[in-house]
């Protein structure tokens, strides 16, 4: 009786292993694609338009900063001139200090506003690109899409970056002038 029970247990275990092996073999290999998400977003017509809009929106403030830089250089040149009176030197140094503070404050404000607008634009475009890539994957029966930044090697045939950009441009066509939302100081 001992041997027959042991034989039954061994046969049962073999059956379980065989069933598990057959089930494991029934799972098809995953279909994988690669996307360079950063490039896919950067190459869209919407991002190119938004970049041009940002440049136009902030051009006056950039020009104001450039004017301050030019004024500061002019003051530095005047300070290095020979035979400058002490009163004039004190006045120029005071003006240079004020302009330097203005320049720093305006530069920081501009950078902050540009960064905020850029993050809003990239965040929206990134979410939209993720939805586009998901649609492509579903349509092509792709099981997983991996960003190229986390990939050491892949066959170029797996890259769907250009397809994702084209699909994005088709899904989100660039319309008339739509400036990014942010307050101008």
Q: What is the pTM of this model?
A: 0.71
Domain CATH for 125: 3.30.910.20
**What's the CA dihedral at 151, 152, 155, 160 to 10 degrees?**
20
Tally of domains in the chain: 1
Q: Note whether residue 83 is domain-resident.
A: yes
Q: Note whether residue 2 is domain-resident.
A: no
CB atoms inside a 10 Å sphere around CB 17: 10
Q: Note whether residue 179 is domain-resident.
A: no
Q: Note whether residue 12 is domain-resident.
A: no
Q: Note whether residue 182 is domain-resident.
A: no
For residue 168, the SS3 value is helix
Domain of 24, in residue numbers = 20-171
pLDDT tens over the chain, length 185 residues: 445 545 554 555 555 445 545 555 678 899 999 999 999 999 999 999 999 999 999 999 999 999 999 999 999 999 998 888 999 999 999 999 999 999 999 999 999 999 999 999 999 999 999 999 999 999 999 999 999 998 999 999 999 999 999 999 999 999 864 444 444 43
């Amino acid at each position: 009786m001992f041997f027959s029970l042991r034989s039954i247990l061994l046969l049962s275990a073999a059956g379980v292993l065989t069933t598990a092996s057959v089930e494991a073999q029934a799972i098809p290999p995953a279909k994988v694609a690669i996307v360079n998400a950063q490039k896919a977003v950067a190459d869209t017509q919407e991002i190119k338009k938004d970049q041009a809009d940002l440049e136009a929106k902030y051009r006056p403030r950039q020009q104001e900063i450039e004017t301050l830089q030019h004024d500061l250089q002019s003051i530095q040149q005047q300070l290095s001139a020979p035979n400058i009176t002490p009163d004039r030197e004190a006045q120029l140094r005071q003006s240079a200090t004020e302009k330097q503070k203005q320049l720093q404050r305006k530069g920081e404000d501009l950078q902050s506003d540009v960064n905020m607008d850029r993050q809003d634009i990239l965040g929206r475009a990134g979410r939209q690109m993720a939805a586009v890539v998901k649609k492509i994957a579903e349509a092509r029966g792709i099981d997983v899409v991996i960003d190229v930044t986390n990939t050491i090697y892949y066959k170029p045939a797996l890259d769907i970056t250009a397809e994702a950009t084209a699909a994005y441009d088709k899904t989100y066509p660039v319309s008339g002038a739509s400036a990014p939302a942010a307050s101008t100081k």
